[in-house]
Each structure stands twice: as C-alpha cells, then as structure tokens.
Amino acid sequence: MFQENKLLILVCDGDEFKAVNKGFVNKNNNINIQPLPIGIEPVNKLFNNKKYSGEKILLIGLGGSLSSDYKVGDILIYESCGYFLKGKFIQKNCDRSLNNVLKSKFNTPLVKGLTTDKLIASPQDKSQLNQESNCTVVDMESYAVMNHFESVAVVRIISDNFDEFLPDLNSAITLEKKLDKLKMTIAFIKEPLKAIKLIKNALISLNKLEEISKQISELMENGEWRMEN
C-alpha cells in the first residue's frame, strides 16, 4: 500500500507554492512540499546533487493549454511528458499507479504534457508546438523532474487558453529563475490588455490549484489516499 510519508510534493516557487501550501493547511510532518525554480535547467541543477530514496513524486502547478479542448481552470493529469532535445522529441511516462489514484479521485483527463525552455506567449507558437509534439499542455519543469525521479505524477491547472496572447515575461525571469516583479510590471505596462487577461486567468487557476491541493490534503488526512504497489 502507498505510504504517505513517501510522497514528495513539488511546486514552482512564488504564487503557485503559496496556493498549494494554503491548500495543505492541515499538513503534518509526513507531507513534504518543496519549491521549484522556473525552467528545466534550474530544476536539473537543483536535483543533481540531491538524493531521495523511494519517494513518490507529485508535481503540481499551472500549465498552458495547447488545445481548444482544455481551458483556464481545467485540471489535467499527465500520462507522459515530452521535451525537444537538440531537435529530437523525447518522452517519459508518468507513474501509472499514482495516476490511477488521481484519476479515480478527481475524474480528470490523462493528457500528454510538453516541457519547454521558455514561456509560450502566442497562439501561433502554441499551435506549432501542438502540431510538432501532439501534446496538449505546456510547462517548464515537468520533464526535468522526471529525469531525476522514477515515480512521478503531474497535475497541471490550465492557466492560459490556447488562443490567447500573453505578455512576454521571458525577460522578467531572473538568473535565480524567479519572476522579477519590477520587470513583470514593466511588461504588463507595455501590453496592458494582455496583462489584464493574464491576471484574471491567474486568479482562476491559482484558486483551483489551492482547491485541488486541499482535496489531496483531506484525502491524505482521512487515510483515503491509497494505491496498490
């Protein structure tokens, strides 16, 4: 049976990390939540010199939609996650047993995720990525996490629709791979309509992220979070 003290929850630092911690308001010492930096290389660097023994990993956070099938606030579970390495598309499968638990509890679709090296801001780029990878959700961390752990489940809340233009925030990511609030504000001022849409979407998706975290916390507290080995 699944041992809850073997579950490590990973989530991007910042607003996503705050939302997940709010959801896990009743967390005990057996629940380990750790923040992640933004991007595949920083995640690789974080875990290169760390060792974990036998943990089941739940990566939870926000992601962008690459398909008209999924919209802001939708909860999706990764079946697999892909990455373009030197022009070649490669994929890793997520943990089936963890996915079975999540699927049975939340009745959400299993989808193919894609990890990229930058934030995707335009519908054209999203459409191209969808055609090249056949993936429906995009993020910047999942594939890197799966490089370092054998048993990983990924839950993503859609934070932007496939047909929406977003402010280009790539320049606002610091060397520490966090969002610089001043540079982000400048980007918002340059593109106010896009910024307003982004903020509205963020409020919806972060609230959903807190809600799903609370549900997972309650399942674990009540002893309902179980799976067969």
Residue 64's pLDDT is what?
A: 95
Q: What is the mean pLDDT of the chain?
A: 85
- Residue of higher predicted confidence among 229 and 129: 129
Q: Is residue 95 part of a domain?
A: yes
Q: Average the pLDDT over each of 2-6, 81-85, 159-163, 223-227 and give the range with the smallest value.
A: 2-6
Q: Average the pLDDT over each of 157-161, 176-180, 217-221 and give the range with the smallest value.
A: 176-180
Q: How many domains does the chain have?
A: 1
Rg (the chain; Cα; Å): 17
- Residue of higher predicted confidence among 103 and 226: 103
Which of the four pLDDT bands, split at 50, 70 and 90, describes residue 88?
very high
Asked whether residue 227 carries a pLDDT value surpassing 70, the answer given is no
Average pLDDT over residues 15-21: 94
CATH, residue 50:
3.40.50.1580
pLDDT tens track for 22-41:
998 766 556 789 999 988 88
Q: Is residue 48 part of a domain?
A: yes
Q: Average the pLDDT over each of 51-55, 63-67, 121-125, 178-182 and give the range with the smallest value.
A: 51-55
> Whole domain around residue 71: which residue ranges?
4-164+202-221
DSSP codes, 57-122: EEEEEEEEE-STT--TT-EEEEEEEEEEETTEEEEEEPPHHHHHHHHHHH---EEEEEE-SS----
Residue 82's pLDDT is what?
A: 97
Q: Is residue 183 part of a domain?
A: no
Residue 177's pLDDT is what?
A: 61
Give the residue among 141, 136, 92 at the shortest CA–CA distance from 119.
141
Q: Is residue 155 part of a domain?
A: yes
**Sequence-distant contacts of 177-186: CB under 8 A, at least 24 apart:** 177/37, 177/38, 177/39, 177/42, 178/13, 178/14, 178/37, 178/38, 179/14, 179/38
